[in-house]
Amino acid sequence: MVDGVCGGIAQYFGLDPTLVRLAWIVFTAMGGSGIIAYILCAAIFPREPEEF
């Protein structure tokens, strides 16, 4: 929920964001590569325009 990466992935694939977040936690706990992947995704994925 820090940068919206999991929520964006869930929205793109039409999934529940909670399931994507849980899967991300499992991958992170299995080897720690989820942290690096999250940072890369946060830097690479385009941001959604903010509505005012």
Q: Distance between CA 40 and CA 12 in Å, rounded?
A: 17
Looking at residue 25, its pLDDT comes to: 86
Q: Is there a domain that residue 50 lies in?
A: no
pLDDT (tens digit, 9 = 90+) per residue, 1-52?
A: 666 778 888 888 999 989 988 988 888 888 877 788 888 888 887 777 667 6
Query: How many domains does the chain fold into?
Result: 1
Domain limits for position 38: 5-44
Q: Is residue 19 part of a domain?
A: yes
- pLDDT number for residue 16: 92
Which pTM was predicted? Answer: 0.68
pLDDT for position 1: 61
Q: Determine the straight-line distance between the first and last CA of the chain, rounded to whole angstroms.
A: 21
